Structures are given as C-alpha cells and as structure tokens.
Chain A
Amino acid sequence: MDLRTIDASPSAEERLAVDSVLGAPESGWFGGERTPLDGHVAIGGLSLAESRRHLLLPALHALQARVGSISPAGLGYLATRLDLPPAEAYGVASAYALFSFEPTPSVVVHVCDDVACRAAAGGDPTDELAQRHGPAGSGTAVTWWPSPCLGHCEHGSAALVQVAGVRGGRGSIAPFAIGDMDRLVAMGAELDVEDLAVPLALVPQAGAGSTRLLRRVGQVDPASLDSYRAAGGYRSLRRALDLGPAGVIAELKDAKLLGRGGAAFPTGAKWEAVARNPLRPHYFVANADESEPGTFKDRVLLDHDPYALIEALTIAGITTGAEKGFVYLRGEYPVAARRLEHAAAEARNRGLLGVDVMGSGLTFDLEVRQGAGAYIAGEETALFNSLEGRRPEPRNKPPYPVDRGLFDKPTGVNNVETLLSVLDILAVGAAAYAAIGTPDSTGTRLFCLSGRVEHPGLYEVPMGTTLGALLEMAGGVAGGRPLRAVLMGGAAGSFVGPGDLDLPLSFEGVRAAGTTLGSGVVVVLDDTVDTTAFVGRIAQFFRDESCGQCVPCRVGTQRQEEILGRLAAGRPLGSVDDELALLADLDQVMRDASICGLGQTASSVVMSALRRGLIGNGAPQGNGRNP
C-alpha cells in the first residue's frame, strides 16, 4: 500500500523488540536498509498487509515489554513492518489497558480493586496503598493503578506487575499485601518478573477422588508431559482418533454437554456445524480470556494442568477439520502463558502436535496469543478481531462464527472448562458422563467462591448441587456472619439472597430462578459489605470495559455509573423515582439494542440489586468495615 508512515526513527531497542516477533525486515519496503534493488520492485498491497496484520498484537506486546511504552517512532516502525496505516495501528493499540503511549515508570503495578477483592477487603483495597505510596499513577520508578479483576479472587487481593526492559514482561502477585508494594518500590527497575513466586491456587478438593476437571490440579507437574501422561493424559485424544470426527460429535451430543462460557450452547452441535461447513480452512479457538469479575477457574486449570487444554484443543481441531488452533489467553495470566507455551512445545516435540498428530496422519498445531487488558476481547467475535490485529469490537451476528469466524472462515470457539469437559467425556464415555448432574445439565461444574466465605477457592460439584450445599463445602459465611447476598455469574450476572440457598446450580435451575451460572462466579457478601459501593464498582467496570462501538452501551454504561454515583451520594436528580425510571430505561435500551452481550448484560446486576434493596437505604452506612 502507498502509506504515509510516521516520520521518526525507532530506537535500537524498539527495532529489536519488533524484530523479535517479526524477524529482520526483508527489504527497504518494510523498514529495512534501502538497497538499489528496492527501487526496481514494488512490494505491498492490501492482501499482503492483511496476511501480516495478525502479528500486530504480539508485536505491540514486545514493544511495551521492552521499552515500557509505545512511542510514535516504535509504532511507526511496527506499522511499516506490517504495511499497516499508523492511525489504524494506534486505534487498535489504544483500545487495550496494558499499553501506554507516554513514557511510564519501568515498573507498573496493577492492583485489583474489583468486586471479589473489594468484598474480601470490606472496602476499597487500594485505600491504604494510596495513603502509603501516593495516588494512582504517581511514582517515578514504580507506579500503580487500580485494576479490574485479575482472576486471583480466592486470595482476596492481587496485583499484576508489568516490568519494562530487556527481560521485561508481566508477573502476578496474589495475595498482594502492602508489604509487597513496599518491596517492589525498593527493588524498582532491578525487579525481574521471572523471580516472582508463582501464586498458589486454592483448591480445597485437590487430590479428592470425586473431582474430574480438577483431578490433576496439584497432582501433576505442570511442566512435564510425562507426568501428565502418567495421570491418564492423552488417552482422550487416542480415543478421539479411534472414534473419528462423527464418533466424537456423537459422544458430545449423547453427553449433552453445554458450553461453560456463559451462553450454554450445545457443544456437539457447534462442532458439527464447523465440521460440516464446506468452506476451508477451519479454525478452532480456545477462549481463555477469562475476565469476568470473580472468575478464576481457567487460571487454575491452565496454571496447573496446561497439557489438558493442549490435548482438548487438539481433539477439537481434528474433529472439526481445523489444522490451526489458537489459545487466546488474557494478558493478565503470565504464568499460564509460560506454561502453555512450554506444554505446546513439548507436545510438538513428541509428535502430539504438528503434521502427524499421534501417528494419525492428521495435522493440527496451535499458537498461544495473549490479550492486553480488554474484557470485551472475551466476546467471541471481538476475540477474532483481536487475533486478527483489529480493534476488539464485537461483530454483528449473524453471521455466526461457525459460518464466518476467525479470518472470516468457519471457526469453533469454546471456553477452557468446556474443552476440558470434552476430555472427561471421551475418557469415561457419554453415558457415564451424562449420569452425573441433572438430565438437562450433565456433568460437573466449576464454581469460583470468593468474598466473605470461610474457605474461598475453586470447587467442582455435579450440576444441580444446591447453592447452600456449595456454600457449606466452603465453610459458609466467613466468621459465621449473616449472609446478605450472593453475586452469581459475575458482573454480567445477578444477586440471590439468603432465602435462595436451595437454588439448584443447573442451567434450568438458575434460569427458573431468573439468575445465571455465567462463568461460575459465586461472590459471597455478608452484612459488613457496602453493597451500594459494590454495585457501583460493577457499573464502573462496564463503563471502563465497553468497547464504545454502539451508542446504547457506550453512553448507557457512562450514564448508569453516574446515576449510581448520585444515589450513593444521596443527591438524586429530581426524585429517587425519577432516577429509578432512568435506570429502567437504560436497562431496556442496553439489553435490547446493544450489539453484543456486554451491553446486553451491563445493567443486569444493577437491576437485580435494586430489586433486592441492595442500593441506597438498604446498605450499611460508612465504609462497611465496621459492622
């Protein structure tokens, strides 16, 4: 393309960062040394640019990690390398929270102040931090910012540490105490993220024979393929190869597996639709962009059982006729990223990925790609756009992914838990699997318990288990205090109350009760939690995470946050009834007219809180710390 590029020379570091992803430039046309030959040929064009564009996000990550920010010169060089207009590259990069465009301290600490950590802390977890280390964004060598949920909710506090430099990258700290921040500030630029301890996973049932999805967590070495195989790993792929695609799909249908990502779509039907689509190539994507506040199940599985996802995605690929797969992992999970990369490399070395998977003659390989701080990228079509190097904006559906998904080709996409359930179905057989749970919600389900619960952690129970039984497994409300409410399903979910403990946790059970399982979030709130502030944080979350594409969500989430701010301050505009009418109108337009599920559910928790009297006069006064 005849593009105007940014007129600034990249630093040596910026070149090295971009070249670490893209290789050295082929010619003067792509930012290399201009030779006389370059004047005699013309290389470029839209199709060439389109074929490279998917490398934009990985290269932006490299720039951010090495230099600490994306400068005009750095972005200009990257845009030239990809033959991409600089304005478009900037438009994409600026949609992600983990990229900065101004010189930034070399250590940036993103501290979770979202719902689960807020409930656990009994207030804003960053208050003390701000008092001791200055307001968000202050500091010269080390700075901090509040962050949406980082997926370590069982610890009740967490931070993501972003370090710039030659050995730059990201690391996690959970639990995260004020002393950790002191240590980070003392170390400054000396910090190496690889030195950060890997956060533990709290899995109270670990090692118990009753678990299926969790049975290898803590029992196998996540860096050893042999350890995984010794625990039964890769038997499901063997069985899938024996059954063939039609046999696998029949098993999934007989097992009545429904997707665990939130939409509960029948997995067998989805795989069949991709497999039957005559358009080629096909793709399969594992959606590991777990970002729903209060959700940490995929992190536990990927940190501690990474081979399981590699095996499951391989089965999905060979069953649906996809030779290429992607794991789209949220950027806030650096440990999972390293372990998945290692697992994929080892599987490739042993002939379990690549041109002849397990001697079958079939080809399947995968890549791990990381997000960069955008909840919306977990919406499946926004995820495709993100992988393609476009802004993570959802597409209008139809067409659906099974017809036109990644790179406009038929694509299967499943949540991590769904894919791991496939392993289990193939291991025990559809009939045995369907015998667990309820007739319409088969199998087991993972629940992420956090907030004011005695033993927070990841739990696995048969579908249909009651909420009360689940809470009992977790020791009930922390300190035996009265239960005030439970947030089910995350920011896009809704509340249930102390009178709902007999709620069966099955798809049909929660549907009948007007709530959702969502991504398995169970945040427990006792009588000390300031529920008005809690709901306000969720409104803020949607305002911050809306992609901004459609009017109902872009402006509606802003207005919803404003109204909750007025109600919390006791300063309604007009009467409280006027404000409630406005909230109801916002709820309707966002649910009815937004493009995607984010906008359509952005008012769900707020409306649910209103119905249960959790906003305004029903809440305890003050900061909620002193009951």
Chain B
Amino acid sequence: MGTSDAALVRRVQTGDTRAYADLVARYRDRLGRYALHMLGNREDAEEVLQDAFVRAYRSLASCDDPERFGAWLYGILVNRCRTAGARAARRAQRFVYDPTALERAPSAAPDGRTEWEDVVRWALARLPPESREAFLLKHVEDLEYEDMARLTGAGVSALKMRVKRAREQLRAILKEAERV
C-alpha cells in the first residue's frame, strides 16, 4: 500500500514540493475522466485539470482535512469545469457559420471512435450542464447524494431531481439516435 493522501499533503505543507507530484499522478486519470465527460473534449479537459491541480496547490495550506484531500480536490475541479463550460457556451454563441470550413472538416471520427462513442458524446453534450454534472457524479463517479451536495452546493432533493431529469432526457435522446 502506498503513502496515504494525508501523509503526502502534510509533506507538501511542510515544504516537500515533490510530494505533490505523487498526488497529481494519483488523481490525474480519475479527475480527468470527469473533466473529459463534462467538457466534451480532451484539450479543454486537460487545461481545466491542470488549472485545478495548480489552484489546489496554491490553496493547500487551507486544506483542513488532508484525509479528505480527494474530495476537496474534486470540489475544485467541479467548479473549474463549471467556469470552463460557461466560457465554452459563450464561445459557441459567437460561432460564425462557415460552409467552406464545414466542407473541409473530416466526416469520420478523428481518433478512431466508434459510432456508439459518438452517440454517447452527442447525448451528453445535449444535456444542460447542471443535469450532465449531476448524472456524471451519480452514475459515473458513483458518489452518494450527500457527497454530491457538498461538492456542488445544491440540495439533495434538487440533485435527485436533476439526476432523474437527466436520465429521462438521455433515454429520449438515445431513442432518437436509434431512429436516425
């Protein structure tokens, strides 16, 4: 068994910066999965992830409970994803229709994705951000509603409602995709 999160956090808090590399390596893929699904593209996800790790380091002195470093870091990432998502939405609103660029765009999935993967991405992208966030935290990251409430600041009832609505919307979207 490796060094605990708490031990690594305390090492960083006492000046051993290298211990932070172990924490980054430990959480990189797990948090990356959430960011990737939430934002829908790898570049944005990696940027947000890097930003979350740097912000967490900057605030590490205020991490009162090093045993719960993972949950604390998760909270920072969820917030960064919200900010990045809002920024991306504003960018999308400024999209200019360009038929030439569309014609030149590759028609097949660029990185060998299957059709099902494309459908999953498309379906997730069509969910409103707060529904996507609730669905991912509950059904992909497997969090309890109480933990989700701590991370998101929303009430448990509201989160249950969001998850339920997300499932209904996804079911309808996936059904629609089957027909096309």
Q: A and B bound?
A: no
B residues neighboring A (CB under 8 Å): none
A residues neighboring B (CB under 8 Å): none
